[in-house]
Amino acid sequence: MEAASVPAPRRSAAEGAREIVSKYGLIAVLMLLPVVYGIQDLSEDGDLTRLGNNLLDGLSNGSIWALVAIGYTLVYGIIELINFAHGDVFMIGSFVAVGVWGAVGVTRGSGTLALVGGLFVTLLVAMVAASSLNVMIERVAYRPLRNAPKLAPLITAVGFSFILQNVGLLWLGGSPEGVPDLIRSQKEIANVGGVSVSRGDVLSIGAMIPLVLLLTTFISRSRMGKAMRATAQDPEAARLMGINVDTTISFTFLLGGLMAGAAGLIYALYQTTVWYFQGFTAGLVAFTAAVMGGIGNLKGAVLGGLIIGCIQQISDNRIGAEWTPAVVFGYLVLIMVFRPQGLVGEETREAG
């Protein structure tokens, strides 16, 4: 009798533990770095200035990843495909931006008005270039394989990623290329309790927020946005309701490309270097961000991007920049272990 009654409560305890782990495990893992280094700062310096600086830099870096991650999450949400070439579309966006501002004639000496105007034109051109590239890739590499096994489009995506990297390699050469620091991104414009706010921080966070707001409004209000959500839920049913699924998918790639182009410009202004391999790293980081937030979820992608940015910055500053990729990918693996559906995502078939 004893033996029969013992397993029941034990099993429920194990289930409870598993529930707690899946609910809070990821959050605990994410808090690990900031908390450890926060305590270290408090005991060594007596304040949290260094951690604050790390986090601010992380947020502005993360804004770029957030914009790229949106492209992944939109595409994955609608056709369940990892658009491997997306990071390289972002890289091409950067290159176009650098080319365009050179052509428009914006230099460090330009006046404020000319600078803002020139950069606005650059932003538009970069966004349009990246989005048309993304739509073209979808048309050539993914649409013919819509009914093929899932492996096939993933391989063509990798193929296109290589092609774009080669384009970048031929365009600006094999080593990181310095670009003019147009906005003097390191210049401090405010100091909040020891945390220095630079122009780059303001630019990248200030550009990301309106873009994301525009995008969410578009997706939740417009007719096309409605079609996108319907297609994401059930392509077959959407088709039956008279939605042109192919156009909707193309449009999703277009939106992702727009965000990647904007991110490309911000990256060039903020980091002041571009090179052909930036897209590969950015792609993996942004994909990690999208998964962390819960893939298919727009808010999740932004949240994930910001968090990954902070992790990267802390790791760059404390552990060593050469280990940062390993730290980020380590986090990716941990997310997969603890909460494959992401921070705000729902369970999907893949992550079940």
Partner 1 sequence: MTDQARRIVLVIVGSAIALYIFDSIQMDPVMGWVVIALAIARVFLADRRIAPLLSVAILAWAIVLPLFHDAGQGFIDDANIYLAMVVMALGLNIVVGFAGLLDLGYVAFFAVGAFSMGWFGSSFFANINDGNGLHIFVAERLGEQPGIHANFLLVVVAAIILTALAGAIIGLPTLRLRGDYIAIVTLAFGEIIGRVAINGDGVGLGNGETLTGGRQGITPVDKIQLPGGEPFQALNLRPWYWTALGMVLIVLFVNFRLRDSRLGRAWIALREDEVAAASMGVPLVKTKLLAYATGAAFGGIAGAFLASYNNTVNADQFAFYFSIVVLASVILGGLGSVWGCVVGGITLAFINFTFIPDIARDWPQDLGLDFDMSEVFFAIFGFLLVIMMVLRPEGLIPERRRKLELTEGIGAGDTALGGGETIEEVRA
For partner 1, the binding residues (CB under 8 A) are 80-82, 140-141, 144-145, 147-156, 158-163, 165-167, 169-170, 280, 284, 287-288, 291, 320, 322-323, 325-326, 329-330, 332-333, 336-337, 340, 349-352
Minimum distance between the CB of residue 103 and partner 1, rounded to whole angstroms? 24
Smaller CB separation from partner 1, 44 or 322: 322
| CA dihedral of 217, 122, 68, 326, whole degrees rounded to 10 | -150
Q: Is residue 252 helix, strand or coil? A: helix
Tell me phi and psi for residue 155, to 5 degrees.
Answer: -70, -40
> Rounded to the nearest whole angstrom, what is the least distance from the CB of residue 133 to partner 1 in the complex?
14
Per DSSP, what are the bridge partners of residue 274? Answer: 177
280, 161 contact by CB (below 8 A): yes
CB atoms within 10 A of CB 349: 6
| Structure letter (DSSP) for residue 138 | I
**CB count, 10 Å around CB of 337?**
13
How far apart are CB 249 and partner 1 at their closest, in Å?
17
Q: 104 or 163, CB closer to partner 1?
A: 163
To the nearest whole angstrom, how small is the minimum distance from the Cβ of residue 347 to partner 1? 11
Which residues, at least 6 apart from 17, have a Cβ–Cβ distance to it below 8 Å?
Answer: none
Q: Shortest gap between Cβ of 263 and partner 1 (angstroms)?
A: 20
Distance CA 200, CA 63 (A): 11
| Shortest spacing between CB 312 and partner 1, in angstroms | 14
Question: Given the complex with partner 1, which of 82 and 228 has the nearer CB atom?
Answer: 82
Q: Are the beta carbons of 66 and 208 closer than 8 angstroms?
A: yes
CB 203 within 8 A of CB 269: yes
Q: Based on CB atoms, which residue is closest to partner 1, 166 or 186?
A: 166
| Residue whose CB is less far from partner 1, 73 or 204 | 73
Beta bridge partners of 191: 196
- Distance of closest approach, residue 148 Cβ to partner 1, in angstroms: 5
- Smaller CB separation from partner 1, 124 or 334: 334
What CA–CA distance (Å, rounded) separates 196 from 183? Answer: 16
Let me know: does 71 contact 260? Beta carbons within 8 Å. yes
Is the CB of 200 or the CB of 256 nearer to partner 1?
256
